[in-house]
Structures are given as C-alpha cells and as structure tokens.
Structure 1
Amino acid sequence: MNYLVKINAVKTTNELEDAWSNEDYKALLARFEYPDAAQLKPAELKEYLFLAISDFEPHEAAAILLDYKCSDQLVDGQIDNLSHEMLRTKTFENYSEIDLHHDLFNINQLLYSAYNGKFPLGTVNLVEMEIKGDDNVEELTKETALKALSYGLSENNLINRLLSDQIEGHKAFPEAEGIVWELQHKGDDVYTLTISEKWLTKTEITNPEYECTVVPFEEHQEAN
C-alpha cells in the first residue's frame, strides 16, 4: 500500500507518562513492605515508594520490580541475573527479548529516580507523524507504521541496517511489536509512535516528508 508520510516532531524524554498507575504504586509499596499505603494521598504514593525502595539494595529492588512486572515472561533465574545486569547496562536496549524492552525501560527509570542515578539513564523518542494511506479504512499497525517511518531514516539507522529484509517484506516482522512501544492514534491521520533511542535518534531523520510503498510479508510471498 502507498502512504504519504510527514514527520511533524520528535520529542525526547527520560520518562513515559502513565507508565505506572496509582494502583501499581500501592501494590509496589506492599511489596517493599510499606505498611500504610492505603492511608496515603495519590500525590504522595510515588514519593513514599521511592523512600521504601531506597531501604533495599539496588539489585534487590530491581528483582522485586521485575517480578511484579515481568514474572509471566521471566523465570526466577532470569530475574536474578537481570536484577544485577540492570546496574551495569541498558537492558532496555540490549536484552535479547525485544518484547521486554518497554517494561524494562519503565522499571529502569523508576529505579534511576529512586536511587538518584545508580541505574543507567534511558531515553526514548516520541515521534509525531501523519500517515495517510490509499485505504483509510485499514487500521494502522505497529509494523506498518515502522515500515513507513523507515523510509524517512538514514541508511545508517539500525532498523534499516539490521532489518532491511523485514522492512522490504522479504521476511516476517514480529520484532516491530517490541521496537514500537506504543502507537497512539491522535485523530485524523496523526499518530504518536514511541520508540527507544537505540532504534531511532533525531539526527537519523533525513526526510521528514515523503511517499512510500509498504509491502506486507504475505503479499511479497504471493508476488514471488
């Protein structure tokens, strides 16, 4: 399908809004052994959670958060290894399971704030873009949005270097679900795409407005 794409803005941030709800904070306060979370005002929850977290060793706190957020995808040994690795490296960029990067980023940033920088600082980009296709009825998926976005990026961009076969439709592209953390429809043809700086930096956007053709994997297979 053919698309008209216009990249309107890129906002870099260290913390994603609504990554943690008040219910998350209350549940975590209980896990960090704070006894009176129910008595706290909503505006106090995050501050008291940071205080509760700081009573634990950094790797212990990381393990508690990993268990809370990722226990359905990680076994105890993986949680233990990651809880130590998070202090040394950007696991939200480098961990082998791309689908976990979004959760690992949110965990890391909570720990970064609670421990005043003992954990690596992470950054993500919020890309506001207009994407208009030939068929406006079709729902825009993360895969389609990422493929369309790739045509505005430099050849040296990691997506274009490592995943060119997927971008061109020669291979299936399950990685898109983990690379694009969120795809929010803002109305009309405007979307906001959340993506780690590992995959996209502002300087790699070389063409902010263009036309492109996105070829789905199944369609490419039929053509061959």
Structure 2
Amino acid sequence: MTDTHTFAITPVSSESIGELPGDWTTDDYRKLLELTDYGDASELSDKEVQEMAFMSIADLEKPEAADLLMKYVFPEDALTPGQRQNSSHEMDTERLWEEYPEPVHHRNFFRVGTLLYAAYNGGHPKPDGREVVFTVTAKDEEGAKRLQNPKAALLLRLMAPAMDGHALLHRLYEDELKSGEFAAAKNLLYQIKSEPQGERSFRITVYSTDYWLEDFVPAGPYEVTL
C-alpha cells in the first residue's frame, strides 16, 4: 500500500452566492418572530414568515439585531457578553467572517451577516459566499476512500495547486498545505458535499467565502499527488 495517492481534478464551476444552502429556513424565521415578540404567525405562508422576520429584525437598532442573531446562531458561551457586545456594533461595518481574530467563529459570523444584509436591504457588509464545484478522480482505491467523506484539509490541498502562490491560503498555511496536521482547515470550508460519479470519481461541492476560494481559478484539469 502506497503512502501517496494521485488525484485528477477537473473544475466545473465557481459561483458567488449570498448565503449558504439551508442556513436560514422557515423554522428559523418562525423562531426569530418569537424572539422579536411578533405575535401569532401560524396563519402566515412561508414567504410571509420570511418577510415578517426580516421586518421584525430591521425594526431593531442594528446592534440590537446583531446581538439577537448572535445569541440565536452561536453556541451558548461561544462568545463572552463583552465579545458579543463589541461584535454587535462592529457588524454594521466590519466583515467579521474574515476579520474576527478567532477563525473558529467565522462560519457563524457569516451566517449572521447574511441575514442582517437581507433584513436591512444592504446597510451591512455584503456577504461574499462562494460555491465551488469540481470533480476528483482517484488513481487507486485507497485514494477513492478518502474522497467518500473528504476532510477539509484534503480538499484544500487538492485545490491549492490551482491557486496563485500569493493567494491568502498559501500565505497563511504554506506549511500545513504540504503535510502534517491542518487543524484550521475545518474553519475555512463551511460546507462540503461529495457525490459519487463513477469508478473512483466524485463530484465535490465546497462552500466558503471569496476570502478563501476566490483565487481558485484552474486553467483546466490538473493532477495532485499527496
């Protein structure tokens, strides 16, 4: 059994998205209506529930709205009251899904940011989500097993060769991209989907932001050995 595996990557698409699939559901909007004391929403259609949730959020002062959404989205005790208070004021102008000093929180700040932007019809930093799709074919069975439920570190190492050497990913994680532990990888890719496409071949969809994925611009198919 070899320690290295070769993968053939073929780019499919790279598209800008305003929010991640499933981030905000009708159930979420109903819960937000409860939190903003909207009243009885049982007779509202799904579309009306969303519209009323946006209106109820936008009726709040911006820091109050940001604080309410952070309490809803973040796990309890993930942020101290002081961190949440500071962030609730900063979200009006700052892209905390890029700038917050602890990357583990970037994903949830992005989720909060997408709803603030929608509820206030702008007026907050515009979310810059990105969906990247590519196919990967492993040259051996062991490599194919790693693609069935791929870890973020593997996918970033597969994508990195198609990014310019000055890309942020290379500048911040040059050593981790080569080998060894890459604990931060799970904070950089927000969602991962792997779908079998035939023998040892998978269609991979990853979601994150332009901050990490905009530089993924392959000129065409390429191979990576890891």
TM-score of the superposed pair, with normalisation by structure 1: 0.89
Query: Secondary structure, in 3 states, of the residue corresponding to 1:163?
Result: helix
User: Who is 1:18 aligned against?
Assistant: 22
- 1:35 aligned to 2:39? yes
- 1:153 aligned to 2:163? yes
User: Who is 1:54 aligned against?
Assistant: 58
2:20–2:207 contact (8 Å) kept in structure 1: no
Alignment of 1:73-88 (within 5 A): 73-88=78-93
Query: Secondary structure, in 3 states, of the residue corresponding to 1:151?
Result: helix
Query: Secondary structure, in 3 states, of the residue corresponding to 1:199?
Result: helix
AA aligned opposite 2:115: L
Unpaired runs of 5+ residues, structure 2, are none
1:25–1:46 contact (8 Å) kept in structure 2: yes
Please state how far the C-alpha of 1:212 moved relative to its aligned partner: 0.8
AA aligned opposite 1:149: M
- 1:2 aligned to 2:6? yes
Q: Which moved more, 1:181-190 or 1:84-93?
A: 181-190
- 1:199 aligned to 2:209? no
2:11–2:218 contact (8 Å) kept in structure 1: no
Query: Secondary structure, in 3 states, of the residue corresponding to 1:51?
Result: helix
Please state how far the C-alpha of 1:147 moved relative to its aligned partner: 0.8
Please state how far the C-alpha of 1:206 moved relative to its aligned partner: 4.1
CA distance in 2: counterparts of 1:206 and 1:175, whole angstroms: 23
CA distance in 2: counterparts of 1:70 and 1:195, whole angstroms: 18
User: Who is 2:187 aligned against?
Assistant: 178
Aligned sequence identity (%): 27
- 1:190 aligned to 2:203? yes
AA aligned opposite 1:114: A
Query: Secondary structure, in 3 states, of the residue corresponding to 2:191?
Result: strand
User: Who is 1:137 aligned against?
Assistant: 145
Number of aligned positions between the proteins: 212
Unpaired runs of 5+ residues, structure 1, are 215-224
- Name the CA shift for 1:12/1:196 in 2 (closer, same or farther; >3 Å): same
AA aligned opposite 1:201: E
CA distance in 1: counterparts of 2:224 and 2:75, whole angstroms: 40
1:152–1:208 contact (8 Å) kept in structure 2: no
Per-residue deviation, residues 1-32 of structure 1 (Å, max 9, x unmatched): 22111111111112223211221111111111
Please state how far the C-alpha of 1:37 moved relative to its aligned partner: 2.4
2:7–2:137 contact (8 Å) kept in structure 1: yes
Say which of 190, 195, 210 aligns to 2:222.
210
Query: Secondary structure, in 3 states, of the residue corresponding to 1:184?
Result: strand
Alignment of 1:156-171 (within 5 A): 156-169=166-179, 171=180
1:70–1:103 contact (8 Å) kept in structure 2: yes
User: Who is 2:130 aligned against?
Assistant: 125
1:125–1:195 contact (8 Å) kept in structure 2: yes
Query: Secondary structure, in 3 states, of the residue corresponding to 2:73?
Result: helix
TM-score of the superposed pair, with normalisation by structure 2: 0.88
1:154–1:206 contact (8 Å) kept in structure 2: no
AA aligned opposite 2:145: V
CA distance in 2: counterparts of 1:198 and 1:208, whole angstroms: 22
